């Protein structure tokens, strides 16, 4: 009986170690794949063979790695291409806004988000990001207005709904109801 219990514990330990090993191997594989992709994209950029899409992908990988300054420089390179569709150019501006926002450069972030929205007015992610940047700068009225605009394009947008509800509860005061007194 004690041998069976020991065998069970050892089996569980082996299964646990095998599972941990699998997840560790998977994480290493993902990281290596990303690093290889970064290397290939850097090489394309260095040889002036990269497309705007390549620059955007490289910048996205840099953003994932929290290399915001490098991402911003790469996104600026992507914007130099003239043949980018407005929706794709808006993606680049939004990503650049995010890079600036994470560096606590709200004014630059706001400028980039506005450029994205100018190119693609119904770009809800950029609208949410712009409203968030306004919140950070304590421009609550503008944030509320932009969240409301996002909800016009996407009424079920969870981010805009949640943030708008939070802002309205916190900053917008309910109108006072006047009690009518009647004289009898």
Q: Where are the domains of the chain?
A: 30-84, 106-171
- Percent of the chain at pLDDT above 70? 93
Q: What is the pTM of this model?
A: 0.79
Rounded Cα gap, residues 178 and 83, in angstroms? 60
* Residue 52 neighbours by CB under 8 Å, 6+ apart: 78, 79, 81, 83, 84, 88, 92
pLDDT of the residue at 56: 97
Rounded Cα gap, residues 152 and 157, in angstroms? 10
pLDDT of the residue at 79: 96
What is the CATH number assigned to the segment(s) 106-171?
Answer: 1.25.40.10
* Residue 59 neighbours by CB under 8 Å, 6+ apart: 71, 72, 74, 75, 78, 92, 95, 99
Q: 134, 121 in Cβ contact below 8 A?
A: no
Q: Residue 172 — very low, low, confident or very high, per pLDDT cuts 50/70/90?
A: low
pLDDT digits (tens, 9 = 90+) for 115-163: 999 999 999 999 999 999 999 999 999 999 999 999 999 999 999 999 9
């Amino acid at each position: 009986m004690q041998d069976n219990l020991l065998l069970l514990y050892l089996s569980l330990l082996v299964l646990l170690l095998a599972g941990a090993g699998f997840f560790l191997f998977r994480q290493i594989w993902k990281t290596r794949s990303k690093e290889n992709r970064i290397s290939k994209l850097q090489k394309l950029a260095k040889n002036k063979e990269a497309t705007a899409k390549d620059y955007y992908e490289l910048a996205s990988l840099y953003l994932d790695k929290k290399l915001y300054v490098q991402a911003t420089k790469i996104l600026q390179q992507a914007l130099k291409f003239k043949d980018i569709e407005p929706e794709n150019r808006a993606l680049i501006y939004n990503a650049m806004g995010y890079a600036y926002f994470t560096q606590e450069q709200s004014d630059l972030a706001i400028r980039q988000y506005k450029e994205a929205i100018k190119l693609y007015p119904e770009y809800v992610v950029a609208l949410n990001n712009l409203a968030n940047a306004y919140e950070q700068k304590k421009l609550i009225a503008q944030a509320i207005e932009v969240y409301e605009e996002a909800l016009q394009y996407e009424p079920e947008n969870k981010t805009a709904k949640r943030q708008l509800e939070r802002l309205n509860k916190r900053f917008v005061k309910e109108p006072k109801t006047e009690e009518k007194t009647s004289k009898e």
